[in-house]
Amino acid sequence: MKGTQYQARQPDADGVIHYPEAEHQIWSELVARQLTWLPGRACNEYLQGLERLNLPQDRIPQLAEVDAVLMEATGWQTAQVPALISFQRFFELLADKRFPVATFIRSRDEFDYLQEPDIFHEIFGHCPLLTNPAFAHFTHTYGKLGLAATPQQRVYLARLYWFTVEFGLVHTPEGLRIYGGGILSSPGETKYALSDEPDHQDMAVLDALRTPYRIDIMQPHYFVLDSIESLFDIAKLDLMSLVSKAQQLGLHPAKFAPKHCVSE
């Protein structure tokens, strides 16, 4: 697992995390910028969840504020974690209906993009949809499957998570809309994902399990759900049998150039 320059901030004895004013300012600017991009691009379920969370725009929210809304809506809550956690811990938390949130925010040097999931990505990008029953159920099911999976199976499951929870699109009567948190927390990808540049494919779980991705580029390929309710249907599938079939068939050809670097 890669290292990171970031360290999660720890709460005081009362469970309150005290962020410096400069970090509150980064949160405020990130939220303000992204709110200008969401209308007509984010799906209604996300926008409804964002309204329900009622996140502060002038400061980083405390996790307890988010937990109160999620618990009432779907029985979920957040879990404070370090900047990086193991796959084992990740699946344990999801299986327990606890969404991991690293309590740090990106530096101004990485304002537009960072590879680590920071509190803006997790809270603003993902938590609004955790108020939605279909999304919450799918994420819980995914966590339970991942917890019981082998390391090799988890590699395939990670692709399904990537093309749904992180970078998923959905058909709506108004056209294509975004529900993936990796897109919704990125102004560049929010605009790009709905353009004519990338490929858009109706969701086929077996294909998603077999499709390579890179975390450091705009996605060349997105999978599109019929509706957010389709996540209930995906959760009912025998996903581990599909993982086994994907392992037998192997990966589709990558739609991007290989990453040239010394270490991963």
Q: Which residues are catalytic?
A: 121, 126, 166, 185
Q: How far apart are CA 12 and CA 127, in angstroms?
A: 23
The secondary structure of 62-125, three-state, reads CHHHHHHHHHHHHCCEEEEECCCCCHHHHHHHHHCCEEEEECCCCCHHHCCCCCCCCHHHHHHH
Pick out the residues of the known binding site for Fe cation: 121, 126, 166
Which residue reads 């993982």 in tokens? Answer: 243
Coil, strand or helix: which one is 10?
coil
First-to-last CA distance in the chain?
8
Q: Which of 202, 194, 179, 83 is nearest to 131 (CA)?
A: 179
The string over 157-180, giving b where at least 16 C-beta atoms fall within 10 Å of a residue's C-beta and e elsewhere, is bbbbbbbbbbbbbbbbeeeebbbb
Decide the pairing of beta strands 221-225 and 169-172. parallel
The string over 20-49, giving b where at least 16 C-beta atoms fall within 10 Å of a residue's C-beta and e elsewhere, is eeebebbbeebbeebeebbeebbbebbeeb
Coil, strand or helix: which one is 225?
strand
Q: How far apart are CA 214 and CA 250, in angstroms?
A: 17
